[in-house]
Amino acid sequence: MIRTVTIGIAGHVDHGKTSLVRRLTGVDTDRMPEEKRRGLTIEPGVAPLRLTSGRVLSLVDVPGHKDYLRNAVRGLAAVQGAVLVVAADDGVMPQTRDHLDILQLLGARTGMVVLSKADRVDEETLEYARLEIEDLTEGTFLEGCPIVVFSAQDGRGTPRILKELERLASRLDGGDMARPSRIWIDRVRSVAGHGTVVSGTLHCGVLRENDPLAILPAGRLTRVRSLEVHHRKVKRAQAGQRVGVALHHVTTKEVGPGMLLAQPGTVEAAPYLNVDLGMLRNATHKLFHQQRIRVHVGTACVQGRVHLLHRTCLEPGEQAIAQIRLEEAVGCLAEDRFVVSFLGDSAIAGGGRILEPTREKLRPAKAGRMLPYLHCLQRGDLEGALEHLFARSPYTPLSTTQATVAMGFRREVVSQVLQRWCQDGRLVVLEDGRYVRKRDHGNLRRKFLDTMVDILSSNPLKEWVSGEELRARVHMKLDPEWTRHLLTDLCRRGLMDDGEGGYRMPQRKRNWTPHQKEIRNAILTFARRAGLSSFAAGTFCDHHRGRFHPSEVQRILDHLAAQKHLVRLQDGRYITREALAAVEQRVRSWIQAKGALRLSDCPQALGYGRTRAVAVLEHLDAMGVTIRLDDRRLLAKDHAEAFWRKAGTDSVSP
């Protein structure tokens, strides 16, 4: 499959970027009236270029004026390669350097230089300009790249440029199509018949009509209504392509440039960024701890404050791990690139890689726990980072997708390491495909067993313990699926039994003390004498004039309810199963005879008033015996049959 590649056309103002694109594609990317009037690019413009090989390039022409440097960063955010345009009569200028710095910081991988306006100078000047470019590109991704002499007036150099673009495109993959789709929005408009249409470069993944999308940082959910690639309607767009996306039920007020479209659940908006931050060697100032800066991530531009660890500043040319605390959350992922500039100064100061978008502040007290993980990410140590990732969340299993998104490594590489660790016995895989460390699994298994023993030791009458109670006692943050896996493992090993009541210890015998037996018998006698009435632990204790301790009575009541000798109602009162069955029969008979039961009928129907009747009647509702409508109760079965009979006669004619 031929991939589409996005190429940035960068360079100083009036060096011929737009003329180069026009000569190659026939498209004038200056579309705004102000751009026509002033003769300079203000907003990034895009033009498609189909090469002889069949490859399609998206050429992004960015503004070269210093006043629009922010727009230039936005346009270059998603490019894979670059063409740096330098006018032969001007040579290297300030925005030439700025654009090269931006491309370097944003991770452009390859490119070429076009020496434009060759018709205006002699050969000696051309040679001087070529030497100046070689000095400029030394140590950058453009070092040793082709330098092609070009003239927009007579077309000189055009065939060579096309040839070099073909070579350049063959070395680029256009983006990872295996990852979830993401688009940084750089343009929003309303189109008649289509609604709100956003444009941007599909950074990774594949996008189709009706695919669900999340708009970040707002979190608004929508779906793809239709797709266009270079003004041509398509059913499917792939990584590297310039895409127009019509969004379903979204207004232009709800979405704007700088926002991110992403597959739901794959990206979260983060207020803090742990970053690998480097200052440019030619930066005009130091960067101080807690200094406010402007941050460019994708097409977003937000202000934030940089927090350095164990140092007061970064000198030009220095590099360090830092945290940027943004004033507005941004949707981004690990390994995304960013650029920073000083407030009040349009010049680029530095930039680097996002190591971890996070909601946790990086403080010196936490550095010992967090920095080793960030250092692993900084040096590309996948296995070290993965080990720290498991250690940071000991109660949460990790999926391949979660690990890939968290660390920014390629999915297939992460998957290989996880599978190898499973084979080596370092990991346990759960039924849903997520992974946990074997030592964490073993520790939790022992902790579950110890917790079960503690619960039963503190309550000798208790036989069954629910899985939720065990999980809460072990750790509230423990993943429910992992809990089920652990309990199943314990049952398989014969260390626990499972049943309707939850989990119990095998062959455990309850030893009733004589006093407990006395309370048990007294409760059962009291319950039988209560007849159709329910009772509470306090009522029983009052009846026996404080002879029994309330907490001991409550434990035995709970045990009798678990053993189904009694039924516990929603208000915490108890009733015998025989009494509840008798109440049910009386309620049925009353409703069949009278048509409905009201609370005011209870003294006559049940022999007691509404205070004691409410809990019993609500229990019958929960059992599905009755249904409450306003102040009446009907038999649920009769009500359902009447409803469907009525529904069958109320059909609407076509």
Indicate the average pLDDT of the chain: 90
* pLDDT given for residue 551 in this prediction: 86
Q: Could you tell me the strand order of the sheet in which 597-598 lies?
A: 597-598, 632-635, 626-629
Tokens of 130: 């070529």
Q: Are residues 390 and 498 in the same domain?
A: yes
pLDDT band at 36 (very low <50, low <70, confident <90, very high): confident
How many structural domains is the chain composed of? Answer: 6
In a domain, 531, yes or no: yes
In a domain, 650, yes or no: no
Percent of the chain with pLDDT over 70: 96
| Of 32 and 596, more confident | 596
**Which tens digit of pLDDT belongs to each residue from 43-85?**
899 999 999 988 889 999 999 888 888 899 999 998 999 999 9
In a domain, 648, yes or no: no
Look at residue 174 and tell me whether its pLDDT is greater than 70: no
Residue-by-residue DSSP string for 420-443: HHHHTTSEEE-TTS-EEEHHHHHH
CA dist 183 and 263 (Å) reads 10
pLDDT band at 522 (very low <50, low <70, confident <90, very high): very high
Look at residue 211 and tell me whether its pLDDT is greater than 90: yes
Q: Are residues 14 and 120 in the same domain?
A: yes
The distance of Cα 645 from the centroid of its chain, to the nearest Å, equals: 47
In a domain, 43, yes or no: yes
Look at residue 287 and tell me whether its pLDDT is greater than 50: yes
In a domain, 343, yes or no: yes
Model confidence pTM above 0.85: no
Other Cβ atoms closer than 10 A to 447? 16
* pLDDT given for residue 105 in this prediction: 95
In a domain, 653, yes or no: no
Q: Residue 651, by phi and psi: left (phi above 0), alpha (psi -120 to 50) or beta?
A: beta
Of 204, 232, 262, the last residue of a domain is 262
Q: Are residues 293 and 396 in the same domain?
A: no
Smallest CA-to-CA distance from 7 within 240, 301, 243 is with: 240
**Residues contacting residue 271 through CB under 8 Å, at least 6 positions apart:** 325, 326, 328, 329, 359
**Which tens digit of pLDDT belongs to each residue from 135-144?**
999 999 999 9
**Residues contacting residue 334 through CB under 8 Å, at least 6 positions apart:** 354, 355, 356, 357, 377, 405, 406, 407, 408
* pLDDT given for residue 638 in this prediction: 67
Q: Are residues 389 and 422 in the same domain?
A: yes
Percent of the chain with pLDDT over 90: 65
Tokens of 319: 């590099």
pLDDT band at 481 (very low <50, low <70, confident <90, very high): very high
Tokens of 113: 């230089």
In a domain, 45, yes or no: yes
Q: Residue 146, by phi and psi: left (phi above 0), alpha (psi -120 to 50) or beta?
A: beta
pLDDT band at 363 (very low <50, low <70, confident <90, very high): confident
Tokens of 1: 């499959």
Other Cβ atoms closer than 10 A to 473? 16
* pLDDT given for residue 641 in this prediction: 59
Task: Tell me which H or E stretch contains 21.
Answer: helix 17-25
Residue 224, beta-bridge partner list = 247
Q: Are residues 189 and 101 in the same domain?
A: no
In the chain, the N- to C-terminal Cα span, in Å, equals 49
Q: What is the CATH number of the domain that holds 360?
A: 2.40.30.10
**Residues contacting residue 581 through CB under 8 Å, at least 6 positions apart:** none
Domain that holds residue 354: 269-372
CA dist 123 and 455 (Å) reads 91
* pLDDT given for residue 650 in this prediction: 44
CA dist 613 and 623 (Å) reads 15
**Residues contacting residue 229 through CB under 8 Å, at least 6 positions apart:** 4, 237, 241, 242, 243, 244
In a domain, 175, yes or no: no
Between helix 69-76 and helix 94-105 the angle, nearest 10°, is 40
In contact, 86 and 95? CB cutoff 8 Å: no
CA dist 331 and 298 (Å) reads 9
Q: Are residues 59 and 91 in the same domain?
A: yes
Q: Are residues 500 and 534 in the same domain?
A: no
Q: Are residues 306 and 342 in the same domain?
A: yes
* pLDDT given for residue 42 in this prediction: 85
Look at residue 649 and tell me whether its pLDDT is greater than 90: no
Residue 628, beta-bridge partner list = 633
CA dist 411 and 21 (Å) reads 36
CA dist 385 and 403 (Å) reads 10
**Which tens digit of pLDDT belongs to each residue from 603-632?**
999 999 988 899 999 999 989 899 988 888
Q: Are residues 572 and 471 in the same domain?
A: no
Q: What is the CATH number of the domain that holds 138?
A: 3.40.50.300
Of 536, 551, 576, the last residue of a domain is 576
User: Range with the lowest mean pLDDT among 292-301, 430-439, 549-558?
Assistant: 549-558
Smallest CA-to-CA distance from 161 within 3, 1, 16 is with: 16
Question: Does the N-terminal peptide bond of residue 257 adopt cis geometry, omega within 30 degrees of 0?
Answer: no
Q: Are residues 289 and 403 in the same domain?
A: no
Q: Are residues 471 and 438 in the same domain?
A: yes
* pLDDT given for residue 651 in this prediction: 38
CA dist 151 and 66 (Å) reads 24
In three-state secondary structure terms, 26 is coil
Tokens of 309: 């660890």
Other Cβ atoms closer than 10 A to 33? 8
Q: What is the CATH number of the domain that holds 628?
A: 1.10.10.10
* pLDDT given for residue 510 in this prediction: 64
In contact, 450 and 442? CB cutoff 8 Å: no
Q: Are residues 501 and 528 in the same domain?
A: no
Long-range contacts of 629-633 (CB under 8 A, 24+ apart): 631/598, 631/599, 632/596, 632/597, 632/598, 633/587, 633/591, 633/596, 633/597, 633/598
**Which tens digit of pLDDT belongs to each residue from 85-114?**
999 999 999 999 999 999 999 999 899 999
CA dist 238 and 208 (Å) reads 9
**Which tens digit of pLDDT belongs to each residue from 183-205?**
999 999 999 888 999 999 999 88
Sign of the four-CA dihedral 590, 594, 599, 602: negative
Of 372, 390, 406, the last residue of a domain is 372
CA dist 98 and 146 (Å) reads 20
Residue 542 one-letter amino acid: D
